[in-house]
Amino acid sequence: MDMNNDNVEQYPSRDIHSLDGDNGEDVVVVEQADAAVWCNAHQEKFMLLMEEEVGKGNRTGTTFNPNGWTHIVDAMLLETGKKYTKDQCRQKFNNIRALYKDCKQILSETGVGYNSETGMIDLEAER
């Protein structure tokens, strides 16, 4: 296992600036120098570690306590060989939470279902 602390892929750094979005609203691109690329295996390991920390009582509110984050960061390094920072883990947690919220909203709509065989959301065809 490679234990090099500098081996987490990084997105290119970008300055904060505003763009005109498709619907006339401003789209803000923020600094991404600290953003990490997460492969599927690391995402799955991360979610399992978060589940373990919930079971240990290290998530009593909307996020993990300092002990929970420390264990997650340390375990990610030991089990994946990649050094994700606490901030990268927190951002991943927030992204997963937002994705869950979006999927839950979509699945609450009439005519929408989840296909466990494909892992995709299914829509009923309009008749």
Instruction: Report which secondary-structure segment, H or E, holds 113.
Output: strand 112-115
Which pLDDT score, from 0 to 100, does residue 34 have? 65
98 near 22, Cβ under 8 Å?
A: no
Dist CA 87 CA 35 (whole Å): 9
**Cα gap 61→32, rounded to integer Å:** 27
Query: What is this structure's pTM?
Result: 0.65
The pLDDT confidence band at residue 77, using thresholds 50, 70 and 90, is very high
Average model confidence (pLDDT) for the chain? 78
What number is the average pLDDT over the span 24-31?
A: 47
Residues of the chain with pLDDT > 90, as a percent, come to: 50
For residues 38 and 84, what is the distance between their CA atoms, to the nearest angstrom?
Answer: 9
Domain spans of the chain, in order of start: 39-123
